[in-house]
Structure formats: structure tokens, C-alpha cells
Structure 1
Amino acid sequence: MKLLLASRNAKKLGELRRILAFEGLEGIEVLGLSDVPEFPEAPETEPTFEGNALLKARDAFNATGLPSVADDSGIAIDALNGMPGVLSARWSGRHGDDLANLELVLGQLRDVPDERRGAAFVCTAALVGPDGLEVVVRGEWRGEITREPRGANGFGYDPIFRPEGHEVTSAELTPEEKDKLSHRGRALRLLLPELRKLNAGS
């Protein structure tokens, strides 16, 4: 079975492929947007992670006919009232500028004491497939914001997020460690029952 992950992010593709392999889900070929003909992608205009993930998965399925998974994720910081949230990728005003986003968050939290630097990575993943199949799941990963970036693995806010129970940041974990713990790993695993059904029927 071919499964489309509505992303061009190689690290997200690798993560889904590793999770499927680790869970023993064979016979699923994960494709990214670079592997299918281009189609118009709707902007992420929904106010929630769930809405944006579903929007992207529907677009991908309608354009390709392939069962499609899409995610929307970000970081919710307690001291910023849950922001950046759905604005995480463009918090600094420039979409995908990880360094500018990190620096802005660290600046906003400069005077916030350690005990009030709690945060959660949030990921919602949507699966859209044939016969009206639509499933939306949510994974969260609690931790706190460090005072400076550490680590070279991962992307986005990983270098300033220290997961609960760990002394290292998300960007200092190995990909395999992160797969087991992360918000995206948790959300994608919640889709496994539906993916198994789809795969069995293909």
C-alpha cells in the first residue's frame, strides 16, 4: 500500500518510516509530497492544530487518491498562554525561520523563572482515506524551555525544549529515542490501528 505523508520534510518522512518499521507494519510505502505530482496546497488558515492537519490531509487525498496523513504541530508555552501554538513555524514573522523563532521565544522568556518555564510540544495527525475515512489524533510531550539552545538533532524548537525526566534537550536525543518519546511519535502511533486496517484491505 502507498501512503502519502503530506510533507516535504525529510525528517518527518524518516520518522514515520522508522515508526512503521519498528511496529512491524510491513507493506506500506511512505511517499512525501516530492514523490507525487504537484497540486495546489491550501494555506494553513485554521485556528487549531486539528483543523490544519485535516485540511492538509484532505487536500492530499483529494489530489492523489492515496490514503494521506498530515500533521500540524508546534509548541505551547505556559508563560505565553499556550502560544506560539499554531503560529509556531512563523512566530518571528517569517515562516520556517527556526533560529529567529528560537531567539524570539528565549527573549520573551528571559525574565521568566525556571519553575514557570513549562511547555508542551503538541502534534495532531490526520488520516484521510477512501470511503469517507477521516481520523484525527493528538499527541503531547511535556517539558520546559531551557535558557539557551543545545543539540544539533531535530528541528524547530527542539534545541530549547527539555523533556520531563531528562537532562538533555530534544535536539540532544537520538532519532530513535525521540521517536519513542515525541509528540509526533505519540500521535502517529495512535493512527496505527487504522493504518493496519487500510493495509490489510489493500
Structure 2
Amino acid sequence: MTENAIEIAPDSALIVIDVQKGFDDASFWGPRNNPAAEENIAALMDAWQESGRPLVLVQHASSRPGSVLAPDRPGYAFKEFVADRLGQESLLVTKTVNSSFYGTPDLADWLTARGVRQLVVVGIQTNMCVETTARMAGNLGYDVVVPLDATHTFDLAGPAGLSLTADQLAAATAVNLQGGGFARVVTTTEVLAAAEPA
């Protein structure tokens, strides 16, 4: 097996993070990257449901005043393609911070009860909740796979006039996760091929 080859376990869990309508509000978030993210997330959700692998949907309930992701705002709802794929067997985790491991119900407890040791992490935003969840999963000892093209983010301003584009932030996430040993960064196509039944 080559260094970049991946194997998807029969009980690998797909963690779909914060694919909510509020992220479509360009006036709130600014320019985004990777317009193919939603199509790739949908393809992965379909593959997971067809194979009977566990599917976890994470929903961000923002407590920040004026947030488009506040529970009482229309933007809190999942995007239609996710809502259409929400099955009764899917776990729904609600969180108020970046890490999906600090939500309700407890994600780690749920995974442990099922013996799940591999996570495929996708969603929004690449450098925020996806990266934070993947880092924490790596710290907790999970085998973490991140198909970067099934995520997207937005341009972001930082200190002292420093700002990065969404693509630059995604590249930084890829380096942080794989270079830092938290996760393997791959493509949706690679995951789908590895997830196919033998």
C-alpha cells in the first residue's frame, strides 16, 4: 500500500459538519471557495447510506448575537440536500463551539459504544469546525480522513491587516492536518473508491 492509499473500514463513520443554510449568506460570510463541496458531500452521504456505514450530522447552534446560524433563524436549518438524506439511523449532534466532540449527545460516547475507530470528516468551514473536529479526533486516537474537496470556507481577516483567501486557508488546513499528523487529507474520489464493497 502506498503512503497515500486509504482503506475505509466497514464501520467508518462519516461526520458531516454544519452544512446549514446560513452559510449561503454571502453578505454575512464573504467570498467562499470550492463550489463542488456540496456535490461531494452528497455523494459521500449516499455512499455511506448505501453501504450501511454510520452517518453523523452536526448542527451548529450559534449563541452569537445576530448570527445566521442561531437556532431561531432560518439559516440554522440544514441545506436541503442534507435534510433529504437524514435517515432515522443517523446521529444528530448539536454544538455551540467548533469541535463536534463538545456537543449533545456526546459524539465520543456514541462512537465508542459502536466500536468505531475511523472517521471521515467533511462539511463547513474547512479551517474552523472541520479542522477543529479533525484535530481533536486525531488527539483522541481516531484514524481520521479528510476529503478536503468535501469542505469549503470563506476569506478571513486576521490581526494587523493580515487576511487569507478561502483557498489559502484550505491549503493551510491541509498542511496542518496531514503535516501535523492529525489526519490524512485526500479527495472525495479516493474515499468513494476505497469505500466501495470488495
Normalized against structure 1, the TM-score is what? 0.30
Q: Which has the higher contact order (CA 8 A, sep 6+)?
A: 2
- Which one has a bigger Cα radius of gyration? 1
